[in-house]
C-alpha cells in the first residue's frame, strides 16, 4: 500500500466550453508528479464535484489514475450525501485501481453521529482499499466527533481522516487515541504547520494546485527536521494560503492556474470568476511565494522582509 503523507493536492477540474478539459487535466497531473507532489485527490471539493455528472466523475478518476501511472498515490473522491451513491463511487474507484478513497461527511441532510457511522461503515464494507474520512463542517453543516472517528477506526478499511476543522486539538486527541498509524491529513492550508505539530502526517491542499513544489518542499523539510527550510516555505506560502480563500474556492486557484498558463479559468455555475481586486491580491501572493512576477511593486519576497 502506498503511504498517504506530505503534500497531497486537491485537484481542480479544468473545463473548456462547458466540458471537462481532459488534456489540460492530464498535463496538470504530470506537472504535479514532476514537481514532487506526494499524492493526488481527484473529484474532491476543489474539483467542483457537486457540478459533475456521475459519468464525468468516474472519467476524471480514471484519467487521473492513467496520468499518474502509479508514480504517486491517487486518493479518489467518493463523497455524496446519499450513501448508495457514495458506495457506487467508492466501488468504482476500488475497481479502477485507486490507492484509496476520500469520503466526506454527508452534507445538507445533517445526520447524527450514528448516521455518519453507518454511512462510513457502508462504504467501508463495500471496498478493499483504504478509506479516508473527510471532516469539513464549514461546508457540510456537520462535524464528525473524535469519538465517532475512534469507533470507525476499528473497521477494516478506515485508514485515516482529512480534517478541516478549526479545532487544532482534534489531531492530538486522535493521535493519543489511535496512535501514529492512523493517517491524519490537514484540510486547512493556513494551519498546516500547527496540524503537523499536533500529530498530522500531511495536508490535502488547495494551495498545492498553484505552488506544488513549494508545498512539497514544506513537507519534505518537516520530515527531515530541516527547520530553516521548513520556515522558509511556511512563510512564503502564507499570503497565498489566505488569498486563495478571499472568494469561494476553487475560483481563486483557477485564476492563479490561468495566470501560470496551466488551465483556463472556466468554472461551472454557481461558481464564478474572481473579481479584479482579488486578482491583484492573488498576483501579489504568487509573487511573494516566488512563483509569478507581476511587474508591479508589491509585497516583498519571503525571506527578504
H/E/C letters for each residue in the chain?
A: CCCCCEEEEECCCCEECCEECHHHHHHHHHHHHHHCCCEEECCCHHHCHHHCCHHHHHHHHHHHHHHHCCCCCEEEECCCCCHHHHHHHHHHHHHHCCCEEEEECCCCCCCCHHHHHHHHHHHHHHCCCCEEEEECHHHHCCCCCHHHHHHHCCCCCEEEEEECCCCCCHHHHHHHHHCCCCEEEECCHHHHHHHHHCCCCEEEECHHHCCHHHHHHHHHHHHHCCHHHHHHHHHHHHHHHHHCCCCCCCHHHHHHHHHCCCCCCCCCCCCCCCCHHHHHHHHHHHHHHCCCCCCCCCCCCCCCC
162 is catalytic: yes
Contact 34, 26 (CB under 8 A): no
Q: Is the peptide bond before 117 cis (omega within 30 degrees of 0)?
A: no
C-alpha cell at 268: 461551472
Catalytic residue, chosen from 107, 134, 195, 255, is 134
Question: What does the alpha-carbon distance between residue 273 and residue 13 come to, in Å, rounded to a whole number?
Answer: 14
The residue annotated as part of the active site, out of 62, 162, 254, 281, is 162
| 224 is a catalytic site residue | no
State CA 286 to chain mean position distance.
19
- Name residue, grid cell 490537514: 186
10, 44 contact by CB (below 8 A): yes
User: Which residues are annotated as catalytic?
Assistant: 134, 162
Amino acid at each position: 500500500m502506498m503511504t498517504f503523507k506530505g503534500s497531497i493536492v486537491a485537484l481542480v477540474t479544468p473545463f473548456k466550453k462547458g466540458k471537462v478539459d481532459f488534456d489540460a487535466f492530464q498535463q496538470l497531473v504530470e506537472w504535479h508528479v514532476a514537481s514532487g507532489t506526494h499524492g493526488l485527490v481527484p473529484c474532491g471539493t476543489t474539483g467542483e464535484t457537486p457540478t459533475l455528472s456521475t459519468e464525468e466523475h468516474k472519467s476524471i478518476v480514471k484519467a487521473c489514475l492513467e496520468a499518474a501511472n502509479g508514480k504517486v498515490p491517487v486518493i479518489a473522491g467518493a463523497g455524496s450525501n446519499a450513501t448508495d451513491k457514495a458506495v457506487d463511487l467508492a466501488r468504482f474507484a476500488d475497481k479502477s485501481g485507486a490507492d484509496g478513497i476520500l469520503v466526506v461527511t454527508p452534507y445538507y441532510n445533517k445526520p447524527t453521529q450514528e448516521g455518519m457511522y453507518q454511512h462510513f461503515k457502508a462504504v467501508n464494507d463495500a471496498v478493499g482499499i483504504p478509506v479516508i474520512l473527510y471532516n469539513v463542517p464549514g461546508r457540510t453543516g456537520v462535524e464528525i466527533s473524535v469519538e465517532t472517528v475512534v469507533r470507525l477506526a476499528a473497521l477494516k478499511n478506515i485508514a485515516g481522516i482529512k480534517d478541516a476543522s478549526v479545532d487544532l486539538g482534534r489531531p492530538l486527541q486522535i493521535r493519543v487515541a489511535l496512535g501514529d498509524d492512523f493517517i491524519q491529513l490537514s484540510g486547512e492550508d493556513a494551519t498546516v504547520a500547527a496540524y503537523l505539530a499536533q500529530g498530522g502526517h500531511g495536508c490535502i491542499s488547495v494551495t498545492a494546485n498553484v505552488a506544488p513544489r513549494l508545498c512539497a518542499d514544506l513537507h519534505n523539510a518537516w520530515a527531515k527536521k530541516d527547520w530553516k527550510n521548513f520556515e522558509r516555505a511556511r512563510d512564503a506560502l502564507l499570503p497565498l494560503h489566505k488569498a486563495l480563500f478571499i472568494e469561494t474556492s476553487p475560483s481563486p486557484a483557477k485564476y492563479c492556474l490561468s495566470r501560470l498558463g496551466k488551465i483556463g479559468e472556466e468554472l461551472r455555475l454557481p461558481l464564478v470568476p474572481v473579481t479584479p481586486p482579488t486578482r491583484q491580491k492573488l498576483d501579489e501572493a504568487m509573487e511573494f511565494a516566488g512563483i509569478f512576477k507581476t511587474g508591479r511593486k508589491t509585497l516583498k519576497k519571503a525571506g527578504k522582509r
